[in-house]
Amino acid sequence: MDMTDVDYSTKIPNNIGLAEDRRVLKALEQWHPGYIDWWMQMGPEGFQEAEVYLRTAVSVDPKGWARFGYVKMPEYRWGILLAPAEEGRVIPFGAHKGEPAWQDVPGEHRALLRRLIVIQGDTEPASVEQQRHLGATAPSLYDLRNLFQVNVEEGRHLWAMVYLLHKYFGRDGREEADELLRRRSGSADKPRMLGAFNEATPDWLSFFMFTFFTDRDGKMQLESLAQSGFDPLSRTCRFMLTEEAHHMFVGETGVGRTIQRTCEAMKEAGIDDPNAIDQVRALGVIDLPTIQKKLNLHFTLSLDLFGAEISTNAANAFTAGLKGRFEETKIDDDHVLTDATYPVLEYVDGRFEEVDHPALSAINMRLRDDYIKDCEKGVGRWNKIIEKTGVDFALSLPHQAFHRHIGAFSSLSVSPTGEIMGKDEWDARRNEWLPSAADGDYIDSLMTPCRNPGDYAGWIAPPRVGIDSKPGDFEYVKLA
Amino acid sequence: MTALIKQHLIDPEICIRCYTCEEMCGRDAISHNDDNVVVDIEKCAYCMDCIAPCPTGSIDNWRIVETPYTLEEQLAWDELPEQQEFAGDDDAGALEALEDEIESLLAEAHAGTGGKPVAPKSASKPSVNLFSRAHPATATVQGNFRLTAEDAEHDIRHIILDLGDAAFPVVEGQSIGIVPPGKDDAGKPHAARLYSVASPRDGERPGHNNLSLTVKRVPGGFGSNYVCDLKKGDTVEITGPFGATFLIPNDPGANIIMICTGTGSAPFRAFTEHRRRAMLSAPGRMLLFFGARRPEELPYFGPLKKVPKTLLEQHLVFSRLPDKPKEYVQDRMLTVADDLAGLIGDDNTHVFICGLKGMETGVDEAFAAICRKAGLDWSALKPVMRADGRYHVETY
Residue type, position A242, single letter: T
Instruction: Please give the C-alpha separations between residue A258 and each of A131, A269, A456, A461, in angstroms, as whole numbers.
Output: 19, 17, 11, 6
pLDDT of residue A236: 95
Give the whole-angstrom CA distance, residue A397 versus residue A295: 7
Angle between helices A110-130 and A22-42 (to 10 degrees): 30
pLDDT of residue B3: 66
Q: Is residue B143 part of a domain?
A: yes
User: Do B16 and A70 count as a contact with CB atoms less than 8 A apart?
Assistant: no
User: Do A249 and B56 count as a contact with CB atoms less than 8 A apart?
Assistant: yes
Least Cα separation, residue B184 to chain A (angstroms) = 31
User: Do B207 and A69 count as a contact with CB atoms less than 8 A apart?
Assistant: yes
Helix (H, G, I), strand (E, B) or coil at A8: coil
A7 pLDDT above the threshold of 70: no
Between A69 and A99, name the one with better pLDDT.
Answer: A99
Q: Is residue B79 part of a domain?
A: yes
Instruction: Provide the pLDDT confidence category of residue B82 given band limits of 50, 70 and 90.
Output: confident
From chain B, pick out residues whose CB is under 8 angstroms from the CB of A468.
169
User: Do B57 and A469 count as a contact with CB atoms less than 8 A apart?
Assistant: yes
Task: State pLDDT tens for residues B210-267.
Answer: 999 999 999 888 899 999 999 999 999 999 999 999 999 999 999 999 999 999 999 9
Q: How many CB atoms lie within 10 A of CB B34?
A: 10
Same domain? For B222 and B294 the reply is no
User: Do A245 and B18 count as a contact with CB atoms less than 8 A apart?
Assistant: yes
User: Do B57 and A65 count as a contact with CB atoms less than 8 A apart?
Assistant: no
Q: Is residue B103 part of a domain?
A: no
Beta bridge partners of B352: B258, B392
Average pLDDT over residues B333-355: 95
Last residue of a domain, which of B221, B242, B263?
A: B242
Residue in A249, A370, A387, A388 to test binding to B, most B beta-carbons within 10 Å: A249
User: Do B52 and A241 count as a contact with CB atoms less than 8 A apart?
Assistant: no
Mean per-residue pLDDT of chain A = 93
Quick one: which of B319, B329, B314 has its CA closest to B293? B319
pLDDT of residue B225: 94
Cross-chain CB nearest to A67 (options B60, B167, B250): B167
Range of the domain at B368: 255-395
User: Do B18 and A249 count as a contact with CB atoms less than 8 A apart?
Assistant: yes
Q: Is residue B297 part of a domain?
A: yes
A426 pLDDT above the threshold of 90: yes
Helix (H, G, I), strand (E, B) or coil at A80: strand
From chain B, pick out residues whose CB is under 8 angstroms from the CB of A67.
165, 167
Helix (H, G, I), strand (E, B) or coil at B344: helix
Q: Is residue B112 part of a domain?
A: no
Instruction: Provide the pLDDT confidence category of residue B2 given band limits of 50, 70 and 90.
Output: low
B59, B50 in Cβ contact below 8 A?
yes
Give the whole-angstrom CA distance, residue A351 versus residue B336: 86
Q: Is residue B204 part of a domain?
A: yes
Q: How many CB atoms lie within 10 A of CB A316?
A: 17
Same domain? For B312 and B215 the reply is no
SS (H, E, C) B155-217: CEEEEEEECCCCCCCCCCCCEEEECCCCECCCCCECCCEEEEECCCCCCCCCCCCEEEEEEEC
Same domain? For B235 and B287 the reply is no
User: Do A469 and B16 count as a contact with CB atoms less than 8 A apart?
Assistant: no
Mean per-residue pLDDT of chain B = 90
Same domain? For B265 and B387 the reply is yes
Instruction: Provide the pLDDT confidence category of residue A3 given band limits of 50, 70 and 90.
Output: very low
Task: State pLDDT tens for residues B88-141.
Answer: 444 445 788 888 888 888 988 998 888 889 999 989 888 888 888 888 999 999
User: Do A242 and B166 count as a contact with CB atoms less than 8 A apart?
Assistant: no
Total domains in chain B come to 3
**Cβ contacts of B75 within 8 Å, gap of 6 or more:** B33, B35, B36, B38
From chain B, pick out residues whose CB is under 8 angstroms from the CB of A384.
13, 78
pLDDT of residue B1: 45
B86 pLDDT above the threshold of 80: no
User: Do A469 and B60 count as a contact with CB atoms less than 8 A apart?
Assistant: yes
Least Cα separation, residue A412 to chain B (angstroms) = 32
Q: How many CB atoms lie within 10 A of CB B158?
A: 21
A446, B146 in Cβ contact below 8 A?
no
Nearest CA in chain B to A472: B124
A247, A153 in Cβ contact below 8 A?
yes
A64, B165 in Cβ contact below 8 A?
yes
Cross-chain CB nearest to A469 (options B13, B124, B207): B124
From chain A, pick out residues whose CB is under 8 angstroms from the CB of B13.
384, 464
A418 pLDDT above the threshold of 50: yes
Between A and B, how many CB-CB pairs are < 8 A? 81
Looking up residue B48, the CATH number of its domain turns out to be: 3.30.70.20
Looking up residue B337, the CATH number of its domain turns out to be: 3.40.50.80
Last residue of a domain, which of B195, B210, B242?
A: B242
Cα torsion through B259, B265, B270, B273, rounded to 10 = 80
Task: State pLDDT tens for residues A18-39.
Answer: 888 999 999 998 999 999 999 9
Average pLDDT over residues A197-208: 95
pLDDT of residue A421: 96
From chain B, pick out residues whose CB is under 8 angstroms from the CB of A377.
17, 34
pLDDT of residue B275: 93
Cross-chain CB nearest to A245 (options B20, B52, B126): B20
Same domain? For B231 and B347 the reply is no
Average pLDDT over residues B286-293: 95
Same domain? For B384 and B279 the reply is yes
Nearest CA in chain B to A238: B23
Instruction: Provide the pLDDT confidence category of residue B4 given band limits of 50, 70 and 90.
Output: confident
Write out the residues of chain A at the interface with chain B, using a CB-CB cutoff of 8 A.
58-59, 61-70, 219, 238, 241-242, 244-246, 248-249, 252-253, 377-378, 381, 384, 464-471, 473
Same domain? For B259 and B236 the reply is no
Residue in A469, A470, A474, A478 to test binding to B, most B beta-carbons within 10 Å: A469
Least Cα separation, residue B60 to chain A (angstroms) = 9
Give the whole-angstrom CA distance, residue B269 versus residue B199: 7
Q: Is residue B108 part of a domain?
A: no
User: Do B16 and A68 count as a contact with CB atoms less than 8 A apart?
Assistant: no
B157, B215 in Cβ contact below 8 A?
yes
Average pLDDT over residues A70-75: 92
From chain B, pick out residues whose CB is under 8 angstroms from the CB of A473.
250
Least Cα separation, residue B349 to chain A (angstroms) = 20
Quick one: which of A106, A109, A82, A442 has its CA closest to A240? A82
Least Cα separation, residue B276 to chain A (angstroms) = 15
Helix (H, G, I), strand (E, B) or coil at A7: strand
Give the whole-angstrom CA distance, residue B328 versus residue B55: 49
Q: How many CB atoms lie within 10 A of CB A275?
A: 10
Same domain? For B278 and B225 the reply is no
Helix (H, G, I), strand (E, B) or coil at A54: strand
Could you tell me the domains of chain A? 33-478 (1.10.620.20)
Q: Is residue B344 part of a domain?
A: yes
Same domain? For B391 and B297 the reply is yes
User: Do B166 and A63 count as a contact with CB atoms less than 8 A apart?
Assistant: yes
pLDDT of residue B55: 87
B284, B312 in Cβ contact below 8 A?
no
Question: Over the range B46-80, which residues count as b (16 or more CB within 10 Å of their CB) and which as e?
Answer: ebbbbbbbbbbbbbbbbbbbeebbebeebbebeeb
Last residue of a domain, which of B92, B109, B126?
A: B92
Write out the residues of chain B at the interface with chain A, using a CB-CB cutoff of 8 A.
13-14, 16-18, 20, 23-24, 34, 48-50, 52-53, 55-58, 60, 78, 122, 124-127, 130, 165-167, 169, 207, 250
B162 pLDDT above the threshold of 80: yes
Task: State pLDDT tens for residues B365-389.
Answer: 999 999 999 999 999 999 999 999 9
Intra-chain end-to-end CA distance of chain A, in Å: 40
Cross-chain CB nearest to A469 (options B23, B24, B125): B125
Q: How many CA atoms lie within 13 A of A428 on its CB side?
A: 5
Average pLDDT over residues A113-126: 95
From chain A, pick out residues whose CB is under 8 angstroms from the CB of B49.
61-63
pLDDT of residue A9: 62
Same domain? For B151 and B39 the reply is no
Least Cα separation, residue A108 to chain B (angstroms) = 32
User: Do B165 and A64 count as a contact with CB atoms less than 8 A apart?
Assistant: yes
Phi, psi of B186 (to 5 degrees): -85, 5
From chain B, pick out residues whose CB is under 8 angstroms from the CB of A241.
20, 23
A286, A459 in Cβ contact below 8 A?
yes
Average pLDDT over residues A152-178: 95
Quick one: which of B102, B105, B177 has its CA closest to B137? B177
**pLDDT more than 70, % of chain B:** 97
Average pLDDT over residues B148-176: 92
Cross-chain CB nearest to B52 (options A63, A249, A381): A63
**Cβ contacts of B316 within 8 Å, gap of 6 or more:** B288, B290, B292, B295, B298, B301, B304
User: Do B126 and A469 count as a contact with CB atoms less than 8 A apart?
Assistant: yes
- Of A63-72, A112-121, A165-174, B344-353, the range with the lowest mean pLDDT is A63-72
**Cβ contacts of B206 within 8 Å, gap of 6 or more:** B277
From chain A, pick out residues whose CB is under 8 angstroms from the CB of B16.
245, 248-249, 252-253, 378, 381
User: Do B169 and A378 count as a contact with CB atoms less than 8 A apart?
Assistant: no
Nearest CA in chain A to B23: A242
Average pLDDT over residues B72-83: 92
Residue in B16, B31, B250 to test binding to A, most A beta-carbons within 10 Å: B16
ipTM of the complex: 0.83
Between A208 and A9, name the one with better pLDDT.
Answer: A208
Quick one: which of B227, B222, B305 has its CA closest to B263? B227
From chain B, pick out residues whose CB is under 8 angstroms from the CB of A223.
none
Looking up residue B164, the CATH number of its domain turns out to be: 2.40.30.10
Cis ω before A453 (30° cut-off from 0): no
Nearest CA in chain A to B26: A62
Task: State pLDDT tens for residues B204-222.
Answer: 998 789 999 999 999 888 8
Helix (H, G, I), strand (E, B) or coil at B121: coil
A256 pLDDT above the threshold of 80: yes
Nearest CA in chain B to A247: B55
Task: State pLDDT tens for residues A81-95.
Answer: 899 899 999 999 999
Nearest CA in chain A to B48: A63
Same domain? For B174 and B295 the reply is no
Same domain? For B282 and B342 the reply is yes
